[in-house]
Amino acid sequence: MTIDPRKFDRCEHPFPVWHKRKVPFQPVITVPPGYIERAGRITDLDRELGAFILSEPDFMRFVEEAVASNLHLSVHLEGNPLSYDQVRRVTRQSLRGRTPPTHDPATKEILNHIAVWLMPGELATPWSIERICQVHQSLFTEADDQARPGSLRTERRPVTSDVGEPLLHPAPPEHIVEEMNSLLDWTNLQAAAIAPVVSATVLFHEFESIHPFADGNGRTGRTLFHAYLQNNGLPNAYRCMMEAELIRDPELYYKILGWTDHSGRYTELVDYFLDALVASYEDAVSRFRSKDLATTLDEVSMRLTTYAKELGDWFSVSEAARMVGDLSEQTIRNRLNQLAELRLLTARGRTRARRYRFADPLAEVRERFRVASADRVAMRATRSSFNGVSYSDSASTTPGRPDAE
């Protein structure tokens, strides 16, 4: 499926558009034709995407490609000069634990994004303004000082085009806290009642319309969008090159966002996002299916691989033999060692002490990021203690600059 721009011809509107205050935030969402079929297909494709059995090298290659593609398009849209190949190289090094120290802001921005994007569990709802400010701070510290990492916007200025044309008048700074609280109340308490793609789309639009930060709103909003999907029913969304579909036509993308502000309707925006996600999921399923080893495994090997994947922890030959039930331990041992050679399982120890686990390369990556994140939080807390300034104090008093995103 590809997005047909002709469906959105009616979305023409004058510029600039003005943010409409919504307190309390109680959106009336009229879904487009074909909504049930497309939302259901996205759910089915996510489930299918999670069922494929890939070797560690193939799995990591596809994840690197998807993460690099999404990050490159998200930050390039806002001026990051790195090419896709450069972003993919940084992504590969980071995921494999070989990230060199860097003082280049463009590279640091990519590293910051990787650490946040690959830790969706750290962004499970409920959300608060403080949590959103922490996300913003994590994305832009040492990468974009003009974004004033972690600090809410204090100026009343429009979002402008590259040539300075006003495109959007966001929420006045004195309304940001109230409107963000209203949006987050809806996100935390009501959004889960509807399909995650619809909730995430509405959340993304309203976040961009409020524009709570001086800069970095688009990048932060896209980060929240991806995290929301993964934590609310689409856990394999990170394997899809969604930004390639969402931003394939930047002019159309921004036109529909503006139309939503202008008209107060979410129908066209949901329609657009549904088409983009179906296309990105279909592409991901096609790529993962091409390397799926499930069709090459015999029944016993498939049962053992499924057992290991569902268990997610170390197990012994005798434990696997009890699960299979009708084969000798030596036969099970041979099959497990063959699966380890295929890099579907990880093995450690020898002979009777040998243990096996499903090869999940992202588990190790996420644990490394989790430790690094904890260290950074501890360092920030130490610095704040020395400076005598609390996080909440610094989040609203820093002088700002014109909105660029």
Burial (CB count <10 Å: 0-12, 13-18, 19+), residue 163: exposed
Q: How many Cβ atoms are within 10 Å of 329's Cβ, its own excluded?
A: 15
**Res 373: pLDDT:** 66
Query: Which pLDDT does position 380 carry in this prediction?
Result: 52
Homologous superfamily of domain range 7-291: Fido-like domain (1.10.3290.10)
- Domain ranges (residues) in the chain: 7-291, 313-359
Per-residue pLDDT at 379 exceeds 60: no
Question: What pLDDT does residue 399 have?
Answer: 30
Domains 7-291 and 313-359 share a fold: no
pLDDT at 262 over 80: yes
pLDDT tens for 137-175 read 999 999 998 899 999 999 999 999 888 899 999 999 999
Is the pLDDT reported for residue 76 higher than 70? Answer: yes
| CATH architecture label of 313-359 | Orthogonal Bundle (1.10)
**pLDDT for residue 343 is more than 60:** yes
Predicted confidence (pLDDT) at residue 382 exceeds the cutoff of 90: no
pLDDT tier, 332 (very low <50, low <70, confident <90, very high otherwise): very high
Distance (Å, whole) CA 232 – CA 200: 9
Work out the pLDDT band at 368, boundaries 50, 70, 90: confident
Asked if 338 contacts 330 with a C-beta cutoff of 8 angstroms, the reply is no
Position 96 scores a pLDDT of 87
The confidence band for 100, taking pLDDT boundaries of 50, 70 and 90, is confident
Q: How many helices (H) and strands (E) does the chain have?
A: 16, 5
pLDDT score of 92 more than 80: yes
Q: Which two tokens stand for residue 352?
A: 């009777």
Q: What span, in angstroms and rounded, lies between the C-alpha atoms of 386 and 405? A: 33
| pLDDT above 50 (res 2) | yes
In the prediction, which pLDDT does 295 show? 86
Q: What 8-state DSSP symbol labels residue 326? A: S
Return the bridge partners of 355, or none.
348
- Any idea which of 44-53, 97-106, 379-388 has the lowest mean pLDDT? 379-388
The H or E element that residue 345 is part of is strand 345-348
Q: What is the secondary structure of 147-210 as a DSSP string?
A: G-TT-B------EE-TTS-EEEE---GGGHHHHHHHHHHHHHHTGGGS-HHHHHHHHHHHHHHH
Whether 396 contacts 151, CB under 8 Å = yes
> Of the candidates 399, 277, 210, 336, which has an alpha carbon nearest to the alpha carbon of residue 218?
210
DSSP assigned state of 213: B
Which region among 37-41, 84-88, 89-93, 377-381 has the lowest average model confidence (pLDDT)? 377-381
> How do strand 159-160 and strand 166-169 relate by DSSP bridges?
antiparallel
